[in-house]
Amino acid sequence: MAVDAATIQTWASEYDQQRPQDIIALALGQFDSIGISFSGAEDVVLIDMAVKTGKPFRVFTLDTGRLHAETYRFLDKVRKHYGITLEVCFPDPVQVAALVDKKGLFSFYEDGHTECCAIRKVAPLKKKLATLDAWITGQRKDQSPGTRAAVPVAQVDKAFSSPGKTMVKFNPLANWTSAQVWDYIRAFELPFNELHERGFVSIGCEPCTRAILPSEHERAGRWWWEEATKKECGLHLDNLKNQAGAAK
């Protein structure tokens, strides 16, 4: 289904204060070719809500090759729990080899995570989104005050749109807090990553994720050696662009 920017903005306005379930129902009702991006606690909530609509949808995940063993177990646990097909996206091995041969396995500690994430995450996502008309993410406004405070429930994904195709992104949990996510997980006994029981809140690749202290923000454990305002891997590039625009 092709939609214009005005329609997407209308959805964003009309559904801003609606339940995540209603936003998911809208998304699945409007698009046949739509996928849920899955990696963490928020995303299993989205899958659970989507399953309960009874409508078809796809689920995909990015395997960077650097995930925790616990994360791999979590992915398989969710696949079995819901009986879904989990489409796993892998990076181009040639590009990975070239980066590692040139800079080693931990170059991101020295010159930032952008290059590594571009190869291991952004490129595979771009390839997957080329097969979809819309995608659903678990972004929340309070996940990263520096970059996600203005995340709408529906938007044109400019980072992955092209002259002949408007990519639509839905963020049904934009107005939820972490507490609400975990209340839902516990209420419906959903599977979750066992790392959450060891102080990990926002979980990415193993070398770039650490447990956080009680007083730290949940994203403090991601790329902790970099500035908080740069803590986006490129999957949601519009967040950084919107932040830059607001600062002008």
4-47 pLDDT, tens digit per residue, is: 899 999 999 999 999 999 999 999 999 999 999 999 999 999 99
Which residues does the annotation mark as catalytic?
233
182 CB-side CA count, 13 A: 8
Give me the tens of pLDDT residue by residue for the chain, a chain 248 residues long. 678 899 999 999 999 999 999 999 999 999 999 999 999 999 999 999 999 999 999 999 999 999 999 999 999 999 999 999 999 999 999 999 999 999 999 999 999 899 999 999 999 999 999 999 999 999 999 876 666 678 999 999 999 998 889 999 999 999 999 999 999 999 999 999 999 999 999 999 999 999 999 888 888 888 888 876 665 566 656 654 554 444 34
Cα gap 47→50, rounded to integer Å: 5
Per the structure block, which two tokens stand in for 226?
A: 């970099």
Gap between the Cα atoms of 232 and 229, Å rounded: 8
The pLDDT of residue 142:
84
Coil, strand or helix at 80:
helix
**pTM for the predicted model, two decimal places:** 0.90
User: Whole domain around residue 179: which residue ranges?
Assistant: 5-247
- The Cα–Cα gap between 84 and 195 comes to 23
> What sections of 92-209 are H helices per DSSP?
93-103, 108-111, 114-117, 123-129, 178-187
Phi/psi of residue 65, each to 5°?
A: 85, 0
* Assigned token pair, 25: 């129902």
pLDDT (tens digit per residue) in 103-112: 999 999 999 8
> How many domains does the chain fold into?
1
How deeply is 139 buried, as exposed, middle or buried, from its count of CB atoms within 10 A (0-12, 13-18, 19+)? buried
Q: Is 155 helix (H, G, I), strand (E, B) or coil?
A: strand
Instruction: Give residue 248's pLDDT.
Output: 41
CATH number for position 116? 3.40.50.620
End-to-end, the C-alpha distance of the chain in Å comes to: 35
